[in-house]
Amino acid sequence: MFSDLYRKAAELASQGKSFAIATVVRVEGSSSAQRGSKAIIDPLGKLLLGWVGGGCAESAVRSEALKCIETEKPRLITVDMSDEQLGVGMPCGGTMDIFIEPVLPQPELLIVGHGRIAETLAVLGHLMGFKITVNDPAADRAAFPHAEKIVTEDFDLTETPIGPKSFVAIATQHKRDHLWLQKALEGNAAYVALIASRHRARLVLEYLREGGLPEEKIATVWAPAGLDLGASTPEEIALSVMSQIVALRRGGNVSLHLKEVSLTNHASLADAVIRQCETDSIS
């Protein structure tokens, strides 16, 4: 019955496109749609396929579907068709509950760099449902088994475009971190983290400042990156960064982030670990 609709949904998903599926879950009174009726709505609010009721009922569903896609959250709405003024303007005499679920492309985590922090971050990102891309001349498949794409051409952006849906973690251990940071900000990435010691982070941000990058752009950089978990190992540092990404995506509490935490003992430990990673890489 819904084979065409499911095929269309699979086609859109394979193309990495966003859309929403609306399903009528309850009908009371008179309605042109039945329980189980479905429809696909695209990010422009266009009903691509299916049926959830005509007239203004469809209009209400399309409007709510746009909100679902934008917020990345499903919602259950009630469409009242019994009151032309207070309802949807279509007095059919019934009400419908419609569940609207957004279907979104897999979020991308771009990891720039190599080393234990980057490797662990790739594993955690994979577990959290991110599509993993790694860009670093020293990266290989053995170190990043879950990466969908590994780019080894130094500073190659043709294979790793950055856009508003990109989550970027820069762990280059000094090498061109300032250039990658600038590119991530120019691409308006959803999240930009610089995994570096506090000293290095200050130098890089000052470089961007002197280069004329607006202060409001620089303020979006998470440096040092991660939540204040008291991390003291590369694995724990990667966990703190991934935790911050999840918190920002899901509207969680990011008040305990290292960007604003004073230099406490555990923050000093994390800084020391990162400095050691940087030293090991250089040597």
Q: Which CATH number fits domain 108-282: 3.40.50.720, 1.10.3720.10, 3.40.190.10, 3.10.110.10?
A: 3.40.50.720
Task: Please write the tens of the pLDDT for every residue from 42-100.
Answer: 999 999 999 988 776 888 899 999 999 998 899 999 988 765 444 444 455 678 899 99
Task: Please write the tens of the pLDDT for every residue from 183-238.
Answer: 899 889 999 999 988 888 888 999 889 888 889 999 999 988 999 888 889 999 99
* Residues 120/238, Cβ–Cβ less than 8 Å: yes
How far apart, in whole angstroms, are the C-alpha atoms of residue 20 and residue 150? 31
Please tell me whether residue 133 adopts helix, strand or coil conformation: strand
* Residues 196/278, Cβ–Cβ less than 8 Å: yes
Judged against a pLDDT cut of 60, whether residue 17 lies above it is answered with yes
Kindly report the pTM of this predicted structure.
0.76
Judged against a pLDDT cut of 60, whether residue 283 lies above it is answered with no
**20-28: average pLDDT:** 93
- Supply angle C-alpha 229, 120, 231, rounded to 5: 20
How far apart, in whole angstroms, are the C-alpha atoms of residue 43 and residue 100? 13
| Domain boundaries for CATH 3.40.50.720 within the chain | 108-282
Enter the tokens of residue 227.
Answer: 């939540």
Enter the tokens of residue 180.
Answer: 């990658």
Judged against a pLDDT cut of 60, whether residue 144 lies above it is answered with yes
Task: Please write the tens of the pLDDT for every residue from 261-280.
Answer: 544 444 555 555 555 555 55
**149-162: average pLDDT:** 82
